[in-house]
């Protein structure tokens, strides 16, 4: 990047910083969303909620399908 280009685009530096931080946050959120350990814990919670009567069978199956879909 040349000196002139650097000076002209300097006002955009905060925007580029915000975009970079947003990308990092999105990448981390995606990693956590697809984390097999987190999905396993969520599946176990669905089983506990079903056993406690907090979820109907249909709700539990729908939640399990969604969680398994995140693994694929």
d(CA 69, CA 23): 24
Summarize pLDDT for 25-51 with one digit per residue, the tens.
999 999 999 999 999 999 999 999 999
**The pLDDT value given to residue 60:** 96
Q: Give Cα separations from 65 to 10, 48, 50, 54 (angstroms).
A: 48, 16, 14, 18
pTM of the predicted model, to two decimals? 0.68
Of 9-13, 15-19, 38-42, the least confident: 9-13
């Amino acid at each position: 990047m040349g000196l002139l280009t650097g000076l002209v685009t300097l006002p955009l530096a905060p925007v580029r910083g915000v975009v970079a931080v947003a990308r990092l946050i999105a990448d981390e959120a995606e990693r956590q969303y697809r984390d097999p350990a987190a999905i396993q814990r969520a599946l176990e919670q669905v089983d506990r909620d079903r056993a406690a009567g907090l979820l109907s069978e249909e709700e539990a199956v729908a939640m399990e399908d969604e969680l398994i879909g995140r693994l694929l």
